[in-house]
Amino acid sequence: DSGVTQTPKHLITATGQRVTLRCSPRSGDLSVYWYQQSLDQGLQFLIQYYNGEERAKGNILERFSAQQFPDLHSELNLSSLELGDSALYFCASSVGTGGSTGELFFGEGSRLTVL
Amino acid sequence: AQSVTQLDSQVPVFEEAPVELRCNYSSSVSVYLFWYVQYPNQGLQLLLKYLSGSTLVESINGFEAEFNKSQTSFHLRKPSVHISDTAEYFCAVSEWGGSEKLVFGKGTKLTVNP
């Protein structure tokens, strides 16, 4: 158990809809990262938050947004969903205090299926 | 920007055989290097990492990787694999002094057959 909790584990929805994925980081971790895993693209970095502020941005679509709340949990919002958004979405957390130990702790993922 | 290339998408081997999973990276700045493992229906777990010091790093379950700066490689090896090593392995880099975000390769699926 990594200590990172993601909900829901599975989600099936229709094109055009909007969903919210939730992540609770490990106790004490200040950084949260979102990744998208698909068969064709592999693991793509979406966005990172550190202590409530956006720290780094990757290949995140404009239809997607994220935030980190004062209690450090994070939400990834996906809107106007398309078939191609079907993927496994991972949240990870790290201490994120500067310098780099490099170890990210991953949740078990939220599998999104868009029909 | 960094990028990671894992040259083999699938590697089938027999139990107790040696294995090497290849990883090359590209970066304009110094990087840290990692191997993560993903077992079926699970999240990723750190297998080993190179931050500095000795270029040969080892994991607790017998894997090792060697950082080769001149060849920009970080290949993963194990002298004798077990059925339980069947998983997908991801090589990743992060930038020195950067945000700690990891850039991953596309993964290598290791299948160990009896």
In whole angstroms, what is the distance from residue A19 CA to residue B66 CA?
A: 42
For residues B21 and A102, the model is more confident at B21
Indicate the pLDDT class of residue A101, thresholds 50, 70 and 90: low
Per the CB < 8 A criterion, the answer to whether B110 and B88 are in contact is: yes
Q: Give the CA dihedral A95, A97, A100, A103, nearest 10 degrees.
A: 0
Indicate the pLDDT class of residue A53, thresholds 50, 70 and 90: very high
For residues B30 and A110, the model is more confident at A110
CA angle A9, B90, A86 (to 5 degrees): 35
pLDDT value for B72: 93
Cβ <8 Å between A43 and B107: yes
Quick check: helix, strand or coil at residue A3? coil
Q: Which site among A91, A104, A110, A111 would you substitute to test the B interface, given the most B Cβ atoms closer than 10 Å to its Cβ?
A: A104
By Cβ distance, the residue of A33, A107, A109 closest to B101 is A33
pLDDT value for B98: 72
Number of H helices and number of E strands within chain B?
0, 12
By Cβ distance, the residue of A2, A100, A107 closest to B100 is A100
pLDDT value for A98: 53
Question: In sequence order, what are the residues at sequence separation of 6 or more whose Cβ sits closer than 8 angstroms to the Cβ of residue B24?
Answer: B4, B5, B7, B71, B72, B73, B74
Tell me which residues of chain B have a pLDDT lower than 50: none
Amino acid at the residue B84: S
By Cβ distance, the residue of B46, B99, B107 closest to A42 is B107
Burial of A10 from C-beta contacts in 10 A (0-12 / 13-18 / 19+): exposed
Cβ <8 Å between A100 and B97: yes
pLDDT for A100 beyond 80: no
The reply to whether A50 touches chain B by the CB within 8 Å rule is yes
Cβ <8 Å between B97 and A94: no
